[in-house]
Amino acid sequence: MHDHEPRPMSASQSDALSGRARVPGDKSISHRALMFGGLAAGETRITGLLEGEDVLRTGEAMKAMGAKIEKRGDEWIAIGTGNGALLEPKEPLDFGNAGTGVRLTMGLVGSYDMTTRFIGDASLSKRPMGRVLDPLKEMGLQVVSAEPGDRLPITLRGPKHAAPISYRVPMPSAQVKSAVLLAALNTPGVTTVIEPVATRDHTEKMLAGFGASLEVETDADGVRHIRIEGQPTLTGQTIAVPGDPSSAAFPLVAALIVPGSDVVIENMLMNPTRTGLVTTLIEMGANIEILDRRNEGGEDVADLRVRGSELKGVTVPEDRAPSMIDEYPVLAVAACFAEGDTLMQGLEELRVKESDRLSAVADGLKANGVDCEEGEATLRVTGRPGGKGLGGGMVKTHLDHRIAMSFLVMGLASEKPVTIDDQAMIATSFPDFTALMTRLGAKLD
């Protein structure tokens, strides 16, 4: 969605929300399912895939490099090229709004002796790519061209023979970790990624499932050492994608802040690298019951029964950030309705997401009457239980889906409506958001 007419949307104070909601498939797992399925020999069958724009772009990129990917009934089928056998794409790969898509694919092709050009929308073109290019350059990658600050459009040329490296990831980033692990798939020898702060582990778990030989060791300081053997044979798998906790966060917080609500969110991924928001909300006094915890396809999932709750402010420690990194905007909204102050720490990575989320959130809160304070890497929000006096503002979304959805949730419990300047980006991660929220009783128009 490169150029479009902005489509504003408003959310108004709603009566108690109720019903059951099945949120879409996890975005991180969906990207990886299409990538690894498009790479592995034979057939990969995927159910529950997120059909958001970000993920569909990854599918198109894999097709441009030789994979066959199509939807048959409820299933997505990928026939991979075989590991090491991707083809040079004829056209630039357009990743739209998707950081995960572009950064993981740079890793995937970074060890191939071919030229690949990457482009994206205005938001993606502002995001730093140096964090993945740095380790890939150590493996032999050449950056043929890039915009200043290692920004898109970028053209890459892989080496004739990539070299394995040992790389310590300098910031908590699953995308950087994953880019190096994916480059290792076409590199002889053992590549090691050292991860001082644990981030989502989908790449490790899923690659092992496709047949890669991968060892993870956590040392006495909690530092993870991930060793992967190069050039494995990868074979097609059957994957059931669980519900995305980052999408579930919206109906979840909505049910907590709209008084009297009672909502069940079905089939949510409970991988501990992803559940920091639930931990935080429970500390704030949220009434969340975790029902029918079960294992499906190697991941824990559960249903969550969520009821309207009286929340209180808390301090969210820095070390929890990786497990809830995309959920801070909607946590800030929950904090608006809590008694007292909520202080969020360790937020520097929020500045390099689809927007500078720290300032986008602070600006949106202020426009809607919330007392808050933005620090370099912190946000303090003073709550107003009942939402009296809140709302009435227009929020700039800066091409950021999470800012859009978070502020629509805010409007459901504020005295006056909250309006966002553009709803278009919601389709990148949660195409069914408006319909699902409306079914629960949310007033959106």
Ligand X SMILES: C=C(OP(=O)(O)O)C(=O)O
Ligand Y SMILES: O=C(O)C1=C[C@@H](OP(=O)(O)O)[C@@H](O)[C@H](O)C1
The amino acid at 347:
L
The amino acid at 62:
M
Partner whose footprint covers residue 195, from ligand Y, ligand X, none (CB < 5 to 8 Å by kind): none
Q: 134: how many CB neighbours lie within 10 A of its CB?
A: 16
Cβ-based nearer residue to ligand X, 423 or 429: 429
Q: How far apart are CA 25 and CA 268, in angstroms?
A: 9
Q: How far is the CB of 191 from ligand Y (least distance, A)?
A: 18
Cβ-based nearer residue to ligand Y, 79 or 193: 193
Catalytic residue among 303, 326, 400, 422: 326
Task: Tell me which residues in 148-207 interact with ligand Y (CB under 6 A).
Answer: 173-175, 178, 200
Partner whose footprint covers residue 28, from ligand X, ligand Y, none (CB < 5 to 8 Å by kind): ligand Y
Specify whether 326 is catalytic.
yes
Q: How far is the CB of 145 from ligand X (least distance, A)?
A: 22
Cβ-based nearer residue to ligand X, 334 or 390: 334
Partner whose footprint covers residue 174, from ligand Y, ligand X, none (CB < 5 to 8 Å by kind): ligand Y
Strand-pairing partners, residue 168, are 194
Question: Alpha helix locations (H) across 353-422?
Answer: 357-367, 401-411
Closest C-alpha to 278, from 234, 245, 232 = 245
Q: How far is the CB of 422 from ligand X (least distance, A)?
A: 16
Binding site for ligand X (CB under 6 A): 27, 98-100, 326, 353-354, 402, 429
Nearest residue to ligand X by CB is 99
Cβ-based nearer residue to ligand Y, 299 or 303: 299
Q: How far is the CB of 283 from ligand X (least distance, A)?
A: 22
Tokens of residue 430, six digits: 């949660």
Tokens of residue 381, six digits: 């929000």
326 belongs to the binding site for ligand Y (CB under 6 A): yes
Cβ-based nearer residue to ligand Y, 195 or 326: 326
Partner whose footprint covers residue 402, from ligand X, ligand Y, none (CB < 5 to 8 Å by kind): ligand X
For residue 189, the number of C-alpha atoms closer than 13 Å in the C-beta half-sphere is: 10
Closest C-alpha to 434, from 7, 3, 2 = 7
**Residue carrying the six token digits 């034979």:** 42
Q: How far is the CB of 275 from ligand X (least distance, A)?
A: 16
295, with CB counted inside 10 A (0-12, 13-18, 19+), is exposed
Q: How far is the CB of 26 from ligand X (least distance, A)?
A: 11
Q: How far apart are CA 238 and CA 203, in angstroms?
A: 16
Residue 385: is the preceding peptide bond cis (ω within 30°)? no
Q: How far apart are CA 383 and CA 257, in angstroms?
A: 11
Partner whose footprint covers residue 323, from ligand Y, ligand X, none (CB < 5 to 8 Å by kind): none
28 belongs to the binding site for ligand Y (CB under 6 A): yes
Cβ-based nearer residue to ligand Y, 126 or 200: 200
Q: Residues 298, 209: contact at Cβ < 8 Å?
A: yes
First CA to last CA across the chain, in angstroms? Answer: 21
Q: How far is the CB of 395 from ligand X (least distance, A)?
A: 16
Q: Residues 108, 39: contact at Cβ < 8 Å?
A: yes
Cβ-based nearer residue to ligand Y, 274 or 380: 274
Partner whose footprint covers residue 98, from ligand X, ligand Y, none (CB < 5 to 8 Å by kind): ligand X
Partner whose footprint covers residue 307, from ligand X, ligand Y, none (CB < 5 to 8 Å by kind): none
349 belongs to the binding site for ligand Y (CB under 6 A): yes
- Which parts are annotated binding residues? 27-28, 32, 99, 127, 173, 175, 326, 353, 357, 402
Q: How far apart are CA 313 and CA 385, in angstroms?
A: 11
Phi, psi for 198 (deg, rounded to 5): -65, 135
Helix, strand or coil for residue 47? strand
Phi, psi for 364 (deg, rounded to 5): -65, -40
Which residues sit at the interface with ligand Y, rule CB under 6 A?
28, 100, 173-175, 178, 200, 325-326, 349
Catalytic residue annotation: 326
